[in-house]
Amino acid sequence: MGCRDVHAATVLAFLSGTASVAGLLAAVLLPNWRQMRLYTFNKNERNVTVYTGLWIKCARFDGSRDCVIYDPQWYTAVDQLDLRVLQFTLPLSMFTAVSALFLCLIGMCNTAFVSSVPNVKLAKCLVNSAGCHLVAGLLFLLACAICLTPSVWVIFYNNYLNRKYEPIFSFDISVFIAIASAGGLFFTSVLLFLWYCACKSLPSPFWQPLYSHAPSMHSYASQPYSARSRLSAIEIDIPVVSHAS
């Protein structure tokens, strides 16, 4: 498999990365990171469940879908450390993944629409598709680490809250969405790395972000040293004949 064609691996990586970014966006916006159930012993009252997100908080009675208490300013008064950290890390992870998607798209467009023999004058300004995919894979891996670590920490911090107060806290569906999205980012980076490893037939053994010279200039390369040395030896062995006056 060469690097000068668009393959199913790069297309699948782009689709997987897009789906992962969409999952991260859903996890950021949904108010379902933590549930807090408040029980009452009054038979005339209903239990209340408080849904805590990164930006809003919603309290509902059991069996109801309407918020009795809706706090859209919750993001300014978050008193839980894990959610406060997620407010910064998840948008950062999304920005990193979107940058990786942009690079991946540039690499595929460069592979599909740019000639394999660049203009000599513009050779140093062209982008290497393999380099784009390699950097995109690294960014996807970084986005996975940024997203996965605080998302898993929510589970342990939830156990800490149950031990410190009462066993009324539980993590919600947004935790699973974020972890699944991190897994999608990791899968995307692995696909790009595998595609890059299949491109080892390139002249450069490692990523070369810019063309050092145009491919058409390979034919003008100098002869090997052994050929020049043999030619020099032949020239030296030629006898010089001089005519006496």
CATH topology of domain 6-32+78-112+126-199: Butyryl-CoA Dehydrogenase, subunit A; domain 3 (1.20.140)
**Residue tagged 């916006």 (tokens):** 29
Alpha helices, DSSP H, located in 30-123: 81-113
- As a whole number of angstroms, the distance between CA 177 and CA 200 comes to 36
Of 88, 22, 31, nearest to 58 by C-alpha is: 31
pTM equals 0.72
- As a whole number of angstroms, the distance between CA 241 and CA 119 comes to 50
- As a whole number of angstroms, the distance between CA 88 and CA 243 comes to 91
Tens-binned pLDDT, residue by residue, of the chain (245 aa)? 445 555 777 888 899 999 999 999 999 998 888 888 877 777 667 778 888 888 888 888 877 777 778 778 877 878 888 888 999 999 999 999 999 999 888 877 776 665 555 444 444 445 567 778 888 999 999 999 999 999 999 888 888 888 888 788 888 898 999 999 999 999 999 998 888 877 655 554 444 443 434 444 443 344 444 444 444 444 444 454 555 54
Beta bridge partners of 171: 34
Please report, for the chain, the start and end positions of each structural domain, with discontinuous segments joined by +: 6-32+78-112+126-199
